[in-house]
Structure 1
Amino acid sequence: MRILFTAHAGKSHLRLLIPLAQAAVRAGHTVAVADDESMREESVRYGLPFFPAGFDWSKDPFCVEAMALPLFRGDQEAYEDGLVRCVLGPPALAAARDLLGIAADWHPDLIVREGEEMGGLLAAEKLGIPHVAVAGGSTHLLPPAVTHAPLNALRAEFGLPGTDEVNCAYRHGLISWLPAECTGDDLDPRTLRHYRQTAPYRSDDGSLPWLAELPDDKPVVYASIGTMAPSMPWMSDEVLNDVIEAVCGLDCTALVSIGVGRDPEDFGTVPAHVRLITEWVPQDVLLEAADVFITHGGHSSIREGLRSGTPMLVTPMYDDQPNSAEHVADVGSGINLPACSVTAETVTEALERLLSEPSFRLRAAAVRRSVLACPPVEQLVTDLEALVAATAQEETCASW
């Protein structure tokens, strides 16, 4: 089986696909990643062949006007509208054209796309092969009622017939790395299946000897605001400064990721029990060692926090983060503290609750068991094999 994985520029978007891609390789299948050129190095770190497709949204005038400007203004409603226009607009058409060129020589049997990447859907329909989506943080903003009409418009522009099928964006399958209790009613249940997430392997994964040297008489608090937020310091640095001030006054060991390559001096002098991390580290490993996780609420971080059973303080800023923070609070695994309400005092109060109230730890452990109860990624590979085999037998694209 030959599987082409498609995403749009963003490390967290690509990371969503990596566990399945690596599992498919282990099962003997041929895989490749198609994404914006800026993701080539990241794909290679995961040991996966790469094809350039589409363009970098952050540098495209249409996407900047539709998404980046509302983000800069803090207008979440306009941002969500812009996201839909980009996902179902020019970026999808550009990616689809590139994917057809790749497919002419590479001949995929299946396209697995990140939930916000629609070029893979268009290319798959043109090729007559199935496409399966992996739900990301913003997939809840793209329900069938929202995607149906714009997708038909894209089909017409791409020379494809329209369809009356409302659920056409996910007709062949929708994958979630979270258990049902953590997705709520956001995703369409008709083609949705839940699987157990695994930590992807990167070639630059290394040992963390300093982790074993941390004091054993204090709780460990780990804080990170993801891969995107540090590139937007006008939004993230205020939160980081308040988090650092809070942990400086807390009786704990604090590990704070401030962004790869950033200067710790930007955040002032910190006491010995606070470590500011400026290099890439495997977050899933740190979460196994942490008693509390402070996160911005990005989808990758939420998935990893739930998987590790670590109680979370979520400080959502934009995009899918408020929705994810609500899910964490609803299942009892943590506290939702919107970025606009973050101060050193509110962070301190929330951390004291997370460290002292047993209910957060118990609920986080229960949710972790729900994650572990999902079928493994190896079963997902088997299910995709069956989907491709059924398509070959029926001479039309099957669904699971």
Structure 2
Amino acid sequence: MKHSRKLRQEFGISQPQARPGVTAGVDPETFARGFVRVLGSRFAVDLVEALSWWKPDVVLRESTEYGGYLAAEYLGIPHGALDIAPMAPYGARAVLDELNDQRAVLGLPGVADPLHPLRGFRASVVPEAFHPVEFRIAEGRHYRPPEPVAPEPLDAAVAELPADRPLVLASLGSNAGHLIGDGPSPLDAIIEALGQLPVTAVVALGVGQRPEQWQGPRADNVHLTSFVQQKTLLAATDVFISHCGFNGTCEALTAGVPMIGIPLFAEQPANAARIEQLGAGVRLNVEDLTVDSLSSTLQTVLADATFSARAKGIQRQTLALPPTERLIYDLEKIAS
């Protein structure tokens, strides 16, 4: 964390931060400058030195980490990517331009395809249908998300909530309170809207937000908690209100739960838009979030069975994928 903060300061790259009432998506130029130029070039230099004596058979990197790609290309080592952000702007012209600038620094020829860093091998934990058609590649492999060795049991207080109404889970991420900063929190509108509807709701406030110290609205049918065993609870949830981070999105798709996406920053707006395009939920921009707008949207998702059916269709596609352990076999093939 300290190292990445120093890099951001040195190269003038601001860290994405949610602001009350404002959705801050991924800007392709900022993505290209930060991930390809700054981090990519820095990591590539170190990795070329390390890989030269290590001599691995294959380099596997995260999809937003370009240093591993550049170093592997320079040394002629097969490479692949774990796709941790399928909706990042990999195909943007700014990314391609920056990519070729960094290739030129290493004496590598330019490429015409901005998806070239993924062409060696791309491993995803969502089915192919989640990827927009233009980003589906022959080198893509899809796996069922790994299951925890010991799934966390639900808190007793959550397990004992009334079961005579639909269950709605709401979470804007474990660090939502710190990321949103000062000013009204979207959680205020969420809790107030849930309190007016015939639902049972669980709202995860985030790290450092203790329910007994919560200064916002409260409702008898809304259970407030700092943390909830999200992946466990999603299996028993009717609608998930989320900021649409990739982990939460993936967990909801795997559980077959329709979503109301209230994205805050980074690739979250693109994830929410994709969920809406697939018919598995609705995107509600934080700029448009009010008690009335959320109440209306939630009632629509609960009343229209199509949202649940589409979500469960993606769940079936996910369940048909090979287990993550298959990744090792596939990596052995590209290494050989």
The separation in 2 between residues aligned to 1:337 and 1:269, in whole angstroms, is 21
Aligned with 1:362 (options 300, 305, 309): 309
SS at match of 1:261: coil
Output the amino acid matched with 2:162. Answer: P
Q: Which residue of 1 aligns with 2:100?
A: 152
Q: What is the TM-score of this pair, normalised by structure 1?
A: 0.73
TM-score (norm 2): 0.86
- Structure 2 matches for 1:10-49, cutoff 5 A? none
- Residue in 2 that maps onto 1:169: 117
Q: 1:274 is matched with which residue?
A: 222
Letter in 2 for 1:273: N
How far apart, in 1, do the equivalents of 2:135 and 2:101 lie? 23
* Corresponding residue for residue 245 of structure 2: 298
In structure 1, the residue matched to 2:167 is 220
1:111-157 Cα offsets, whole Å, 9 max, x none, are 22221111111232344322211223365411175433322321333
The partner residue of 2:235 within 273, 283, 288 is 288
* Structure with a larger share of its residues in helix: 1
- AA aligned to 2:246 is H
Q: 1:235 to 1:268 in 2, by over 3 A?
A: closer
Question: What displacement does 1:382 show?
Answer: 1.4
Which of 305, 322, 328 does residue 381 from structure 1 map onto?
A: 328
Query: 1:232 is paired with a residue of what secondary structure?
Result: helix
Q: Which residue of 2 aligns with 1:319?
A: 266
**1:208 aligned to which of 154, 178, 182:** 154
Displacement, 1:183?
Answer: 1.3
CA distance in structure 2 between the partners assigned to 1:237 and 1:229 by the alignment: 12
TM-aligned CA deviation for residue 196 of structure 1: 2.1
2:153 partner letter: S
Displacement of 1:208 in angstroms is 2.3
Number of residue equivalences: 333
CA displacement at 1:245 relative to structure 2: 0.8
* 1: CA distance, partners of 2:101 / 2:321: 37
CA contact 2:78–2:335 (8 Å) conserved in 1? yes
Shift of the alpha carbon at 1:92? 1.4
* Matched residue type, 2:334: L
In the alignment, is residue 83 of structure 1 matched against residue 31 of structure 2? yes
User: Structure 1 residues 247 and 144 mapped into 2: Cα distance closer, same or farther (>3 Å)?
Assistant: closer
CA shift at 1:293, angstroms?
0.2
Check 1:94–1:347 CA distance in 2 against 1; reply closer, same or farther (3 A cut): same
**Unmatched 5+ stretches in structure 1:** 1-36, 39-54, 390-400
Q: Please report how far the alpha carbon of residue 191 of structure 1 lies from its aligned counterpart in structure 2 after TM superposition.
A: 2.3
Give how far 1:340 is off: 0.9
Deviation at 1:306, TM superposition (A): 1.0
Judge which range, 106-115 or 312-321, deviates more. 106-115
Aligned amino acid, residue 322 of structure 1: P
CA drift of 1:170 comes to: 1.7
| Cα drift, residue 238 of structure 1 | 2.6
For the residue of structure 1 that corresponds to 2:135, the secondary structure is coil
The corresponding residue for 1:179 is 127
Q: How many Å separate the matches in 1 of 2:20 and 2:12?
A: 10
Structure 1 residues 312, 284: CA separation in 2 closer, same or farther (over 3 Å shift)? Answer: same
CA contact (8 A) 2:242 2:248 kept: yes
Deviation of 1:106 (Å): 5.5
State the one-letter code of the partner of 2:318: V
1-side partners of 2:203 and 2:168: how far apart? 8
**Deviation string, structure 1 residues 6-36 (Cα, Å, up to 9, x no partner):** xxxxxxxxxxxxxxxxxxxxxxxxxxxxxxx
Q: After superposition, what is the alpha-carbon deviation per residue over 1:28-60, rounded to whole angstroms, capped at 9, x for unaligned?
A: xxxxxxxxx67xxxxxxxxxxxxxxxx325872
Q: Which amino acid aligns with 1:117?
A: E
- Higher alpha-carbon deviation: 350-359 or 261-270: 261-270
Instruction: Tell me, yes or no, if the aligned pair for 1:100 and 1:123 is still in contact at 8 Å.
Output: yes
Which residue, 258, 262, 269 being the options, matches 2:205? 258
> Corresponding residue for 2:291?
344
Displacement after TM superposition at 1:250 (Å): 2.1
Amino acid at match of 1:97: V
CA contact (8 A) 1:66 1:83 kept: no
Task: Report the RMSD for the aligned CA atoms in angstroms.
Answer: 3.0
2:154 maps to amino acid: L
The percentage of counterpart residues that share the same residue type is: 30
Measured against aligned partners, the alpha-carbon deviations of 1:225-273 in whole angstroms (never above 9, x if no partner) come to 1245432224895311110111122222211111112233344352343
